[in-house]
Amino acid sequence: MKCNNITYHSGKVTEQDRFKVLGQKGVVVWLTGLSGSGKSTIAVEVEKILNSIGKAVYRLDGDNIRFGLNSDLGFTEEDRMENIRRISEVCALFQDAGLIVIASFISPMAKMRHMAREKSKGKFIEVYVKTNVETCIKRDPKGLYKKALVGEIKEFTGISAPYEEPENPDITLDTESSTLNECVEQLVKKILTVTTL
């Protein structure tokens, strides 16, 4: 915190008031997993279904955010933390506004996911998109593993940088044993139980 002379100014509209207008509770749905595990693919489908049944939903995705808000950040440990810190703040604001926020970020360290949960005051579903690294290498949807394996990309999660598996996720989607549709269905169900007024 760099400023001293700031005071929080409360409004007259509460979170509950906003939820009532939207007919739903806001929540942050945080998808974590290796690159290529299926986070973005699942997020896109879940967003489409929730929107089609009249839910206020918004998707935030790793690369997309780096084009704008976080275009000044790279992939050092410090920048990765700052990337997640800003995203966590945005998620918390959208959640408070009443939205279902679907955030897909590798977020390899437990402390990153912990920070995101804290900022949204626990109104948070941690989704572990579980896929082993061999399968991710085979899928390699963006050709990144190919580059990482020959050292063209440094500190690549799962290859040359660690991924800390979630110890206690709210839901695990195993994209090896379940189809895309099954993963999507499971997650939509979970979201609806948490966001129904």
Active site residues: 104
Kindly state the smallest distance separating residue 3's Cβ from ligand ADP, in Å.
36
Residues 135 and 177 sit within 8 Å (Cβ to Cβ): no
Q: How far apart are CA 29 and CA 48, in angstroms?
A: 15
Give the CB-nearest residue to ligand ADP.
38
Residue with tokens 């690294």: 133
Give contact residues for ligand ADP (rule: CB under 6 A).
33, 35-42, 104, 139, 141, 175, 178-180, 183
Kindly state the smallest distance separating residue 9's Cβ from ligand ADP, in Å.
38
Q: How far apart are CA 99 and CA 71, in angstroms?
A: 24
Closer by beta carbon to ligand ADP, 61 or else 96: 61
Closer by beta carbon to ligand ADP, 121 or else 142: 142
Strand order in the sheet with 171-174: 57-61, 100-104, 27-32, 124-130, 171-174
Nearest 5°: the CA angle 23, 32, 62 is 85
Kindly state the smallest distance separating residue 172's Cβ from ligand ADP, in Å.
12
- Burial-class residue 83 by CB neighbours within 10 Å (0-12, 13-18, 19+): buried
